[in-house]
Amino acid sequence: MKKLIKIVVIISFLFPFYKLSAQETFNLKYKFEKGKTYLYRTISISEMSMDINGQEMSSKGESRTKTRMEIADISNEKIEIITSLDSMYSKYSNSMGGEDNIRNGEEYVGKKSKLIYSTLGKKLGIIEIDKSTNEMGMPVAPRGALFIQLSEKPVKIGDEWNVANTDTNKFGEAGMSINKNEIIYKVEGKETKNGIEYLRISMKSNSKSEGSMSQGGMNAVSEGKAKTTGTILFDLSKGVIYSFDTESEGSNSTTYVEQNRTMPMTSKSKSTTILIEK
């Protein structure tokens, strides 16, 4: 009897370590198919508050977009994607009253960009196929595809990996904007929906931006920061993101040099993106 109890105690002691060693691991990699088109629907809501000459102006908005990702080429090293917006709708209201500002994205819809990523989702290059400007005539950065940068190593539930990147974009007629971003991804678990297995991944990011521009003979400098949290569902069999939910809070200040005037701004937003066709 004592011998049996001893065996049970040993098994009980070893079981957690066996369970840990037997935990499933995942080799994450995008598996897009060449020639296929993937469509994503994004719904966003946002709030913004701005101080203009001591007077606070706030606005609320909502937008709906459909992003097209055409897989032009794929190899063991990289993925080439032609991306564009199929549709866009936005509506914004402000505290000053008046009619809502409603737009259908005429300056964005159909404008194509070629994006080049590694098979782990690291951005390698971007080519602007169709030049685009907004309603003020300012250049608009090419629209991105739906990617996160995956871990280079196999991961299991509870594992984290860090990503740091810096993006440089055109800002105004003659200016540049630099955005630095640090992201932590964590594997939270695995779940099944409609017979499909997904890996649930959380993300936390902190970003800082700074830039200078010249527009209409007026010079300005800006700086900002933002925090974002999110949840991603990654389709393990197809090797694509199925959905991506985010919440962000940020602040920004723009100083107009000649006028010695600074306009601070704060913002909040929530968005949900889901794969609607593949």
User: Where are the domains positioned within the chain?
Assistant: 26-277
The confidence score (pLDDT) of residue 220 equals 87
The confidence score (pLDDT) of residue 22 equals 54
pLDDT band of residue 260 (cuts 50, 70, 90) is confident
8 Å CB contact between 165 and 153: no
CA distances in angstroms from 158 to 8, 155, 230, listed in the order given: 29, 8, 16
Percent of the chain topping pLDDT 70: 85
Averaged pLDDT of the chain: 85
Please state which of the four CATH numbers 2.40.10, 1.10.3470, 3.40.50, 2.30.230 is assigned to the domain occupying 26-277.
2.30.230
How much is the average pLDDT of 163-169? 85
CB atoms near residue 30 (< 10 Å): 20
The confidence score (pLDDT) of residue 18 equals 45
pLDDT band of residue 266 (cuts 50, 70, 90) is very high
Task: Report pLDDT digits (tens) over 57-86.
Answer: 889 999 999 999 999 999 988 999 999 999
Q: Would you give the DSSP letter of residue 204? A: E
- In this prediction the pTM is 0.83
Strand 123-128 vs strand 160-170: parallel, antiparallel, or unpaired?
Answer: unpaired
The confidence score (pLDDT) of residue 141 equals 54
Q: Is the pLDDT of residue 271 over 80?
A: yes
List Cβ neighbours of 80 (8 Å cut-off, separation of 6 or more).
71, 72, 73, 74, 114, 115, 116
**pLDDT: which is higher, 9 or 191:** 191
Q: Is the pLDDT of residue 117 over 60?
A: yes
How much is the average pLDDT of 85-100? 84
